[in-house]
């Protein structure tokens, strides 16, 4: 052991943090080989490949304090080049491109708390809105979500679509494209489900909260991929620029404990008083397939139900890697017809203006729209109250996949959302009683083997639109 070294936690997505006790450098100048058995191969390899090729590696560094964050230049002085890609304020973290020697200096610093790889992330209504009783909210309660702002952090938005006329507020690009225009189609479809007016279909394909304002943060490129740091920047911008509700229809495959960089940012946003709605993932029907950021403790994690009002086979199941119950609720996510961005072909094209798609990506904006209706009914509700009401008013769709007499919470959470009942309780401000007893939390099973990196069924190295 080498004396005088700090203890730095290196975070490997999907696993527990690893403490490096007094790590020294090997003969090649690397800090990794002495404890290589404590690192997953892709973490070690990413740094060592960069070292051998004299290339930069991209990381996200969390500091113990803002003072440590400001000292980033001093930390790497003389050790190699360093470039700041993103700086965050909600958590004391910075996204960096830097050489392996500079990263060595970071691992030695007492200012550094955690280091994550800044990995590549990918993207994963005519029936569904009546199914959750949204039209009754519009008609009986005179509530369409007006005055509430939902931000879709995704591939952008086609703001010229007739269903968004007069509905789109602030937009921003974090993908490097230069605008928030959606050349993929996923973000437009998601936004339409949450708050589209259905104008191009004569109201047939209307979203859950058609009176809400839509913000769009384009964090992923038109090919549906981008850096985690860009997603985090889009989330932070949204929270700081007026979004009441943030929708994140992307995630990672595998079983996460919710301690990764993106989950940390999501929890910080909830602490600001914002409502975070996150997709559970499309890795069902296996258990323990809730990835990041669906495993984040404070977000509302959404699985998908199908046309038969049962849990969709593809919807990811809990528990989380640390044994918590997820998803929280489910919502319609099979064969959802919503807005089509001009020139794109996500899902199965219906016509010039609409396309059909399935996934927990499609379920998530149903819940974002419902949260907008609830906030419209009662602006005094906080994120925890909204989450509790959503869960307690959900409908048990009685999925007995594992032989239980009641619905398995690790499959459907508290059930499929019910907009009318949830908004009625929101209006009164009273919390409904829990309608199902809690299930014992099992020990998480051994994680399933990850497929090779590079396919759309990638392991935790990749987040994707889901």
**Is 222 in the same domain as 362?**
yes
pLDDT at 110: 82
- Mark which of 84, 118, 152 sits at the end of a domain: 118
**Is 280 in the same domain as 347?**
yes
Residue 3 lies in a domain: no
- Mark which of 118, 148, 171 sits at the end of a domain: 118
Residue 91 lies in a domain: yes
Per residue in 365-424, pLDDT (tens digit) is 999 999 999 999 999 999 999 999 999 999 988 655 544 444 488 999 999 999 999 999
Sheet of 213-218, strand order: 168-173, 213-218, 149-154, 245-248, 275-279, 300-305, 329-332
Q: Specify burial of residue 428 (Cβ count, 10 A radius: 0-12, 13-18, 19+).
A: exposed
Q: CA-to-CA distance for 348 and 346, rounded, in angstroms?
A: 7
- Range(s) of the domain holding residue 385: 122-465
CATH code of the domain in which 31 resides? 3.30.70.80
DSSP H/E element including 377:
helix 360-377
**Is 126 in the same domain as 58?**
no
Q: pLDDT class for 122, splitting at 50, 70, 90?
A: low
Residue 450 has pLDDT above 80, yes or no: no
Per residue in 25-74, pLDDT (tens digit) is 343 444 433 333 323 445 567 777 777 877 888 888 888 888 778 777 66
Which of 44-58, 329-343, 440-454 is least confident? 440-454
- Residue that has been written with the tokens 């008013």 in this structure: 393
Q: What is the mean pLDDT of the chain?
A: 82
Section 302-314 average pLDDT: 93
Residue 182 lies in a domain: yes
**Is 401 in the same domain as 448?**
yes
Section 136-162 average pLDDT: 98
**Is 419 in the same domain as 284?**
yes
**Is 69 in the same domain as 126?**
no
Which of 43-47, 74-78, 234-238 is least confident? 74-78
**Is 451 in the same domain as 397?**
yes
pLDDT at 73: 61
Residue 309 has pLDDT above 60, yes or no: yes
Residue 291 lies in a domain: yes
In total, how many domains does the chain have? Answer: 2
Which sequence positions are flagged as catalytic?
A: 154, 186, 361
Cα angle value 331/297/90 (rounded, 5°) = 110
**Is 107 in the same domain as 133?**
no
**Which SS3 state, helix, strand or coil, does residue 240 take?**
helix
- Mark which of 101, 118, 135 sits at the end of a domain: 118
CATH code of the domain in which 349 resides? 3.40.50.200
More confident residue, 260 or 242: 242
**Is 289 in the same domain as 302?**
yes
HSE-CB at 314 with a 13 A cutoff on CA atoms is 18
Residue 269 lies in a domain: yes
Residue 229 lies in a domain: yes
Which of 196-210, 251-265, 347-361, 389-403 is least confident? 389-403
pLDDT at 449: 35
Beta bridge partner(s), residue 302: 279, 329
Residue 2 lies in a domain: no
Residue 79 has pLDDT above 80, yes or no: no
Which of 182-191, 206-215, 218-227, 294-303 is least confident? 218-227
**Is 91 in the same domain as 200?**
no
Q: CA-to-CA distance for 248 and 402, rounded, in angstroms?
A: 29
More confident residue, 236 or 104: 236
**Is 411 in the same domain as 369?**
yes
- Report residue 164: phi and psi, to 5°: -110, 10
**Is 251 in the same domain as 127?**
yes
Residue 423 lies in a domain: yes
């Amino acid at each position: 052991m080498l004396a005088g070294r700090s203890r730095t936690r290196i975070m490997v997505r999907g696993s527990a943090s690893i403490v490096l006790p007094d790590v020294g450098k090997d003969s090649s100048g690397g800090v990794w080989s002495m404890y290589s058995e404590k690192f997953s191969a892709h973490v070690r390899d990413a740094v060592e490949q960069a070292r051998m090729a004299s290339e930069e590696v991209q990381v996200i560094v969390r500091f113990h304090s803002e003072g440590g964050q400001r000292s980033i230049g001093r930390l790497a002085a003389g050790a190699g080049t360093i470039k700041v890609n993103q700086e965050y304020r909600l958590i004391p973290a910075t996204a960096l491109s830097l050489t392996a020697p500079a990263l060595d200096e970071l691992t030695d610093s007492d200012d550094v708390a955690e280091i994550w790889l800044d990995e590549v992330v990918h993207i994963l209504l005519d029936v569904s809105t009546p199914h959750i009783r949204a039209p009754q909210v519009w008609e009986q309660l005179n509530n369409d979500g007006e005055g509430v702002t939902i931000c879709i952090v995704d591939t952008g938005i086609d703001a010229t679509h007739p269903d968004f006329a007069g509905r789109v507020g602030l937009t921003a690009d974090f993908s490097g494209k230069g605008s928030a225009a959606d050349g993929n189609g996923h973000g437009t479809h998601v936004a339409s489900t949450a708050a589209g007016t259905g104008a191009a279909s004569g109201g047939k394909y209307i979203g859950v909260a058609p009176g809400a304002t839509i913000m769009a943060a384009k964090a992923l490129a038109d090919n549906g991929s981008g850096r985690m740091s860009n997603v985090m920047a889009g989330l932070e911008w949204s929270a700081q620029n007026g979004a009441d509700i943030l929708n994140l229809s992307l995630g990672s495959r595998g079983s996460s404990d919710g301690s990764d960089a993106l989950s940390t940012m999501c929890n910080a946003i909830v602490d600001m008083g914002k409502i975070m709605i996150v997709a559970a993932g499309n890795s069902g029907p296996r258990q323990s397939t809730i990835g990041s950021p669906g495993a984040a403790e404070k977000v509302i994690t959404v699985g998908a139900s199908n046309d038969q009002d049962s849990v969709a086979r593809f919807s990811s199941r809990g528990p989380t890697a640390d044994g918590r119950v997820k998803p929280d609720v489910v919502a319609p996510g099979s064969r959802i017809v919503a807005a089509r961005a001009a020139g794109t072909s996500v899902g199965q094209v219906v016509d010039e203006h609409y396309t059909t798609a399935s996934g927990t990506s499609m379920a998530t904006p149903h819940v974002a729209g419902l949260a907008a209706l609830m906030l419209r009914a009662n602006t005094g509700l906080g994120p925890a109250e909204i989450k509790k009401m959503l869960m307690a008013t959900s409908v048990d769709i009685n999925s007995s996949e594992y032989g239980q007499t009641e619905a398995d919470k690790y499959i459907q959470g508290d059930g499929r959302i019910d907009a009318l009942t949830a908004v009625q309780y929101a209006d009164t401000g009273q919390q409904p009683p829990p309608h199902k007893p809690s299930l014992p939390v099992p020990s998480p099973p051994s994680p399933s083997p990850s497929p090779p990196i590079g396919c759309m069924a990638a392991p935790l190295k990749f987040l994707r639109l889901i």
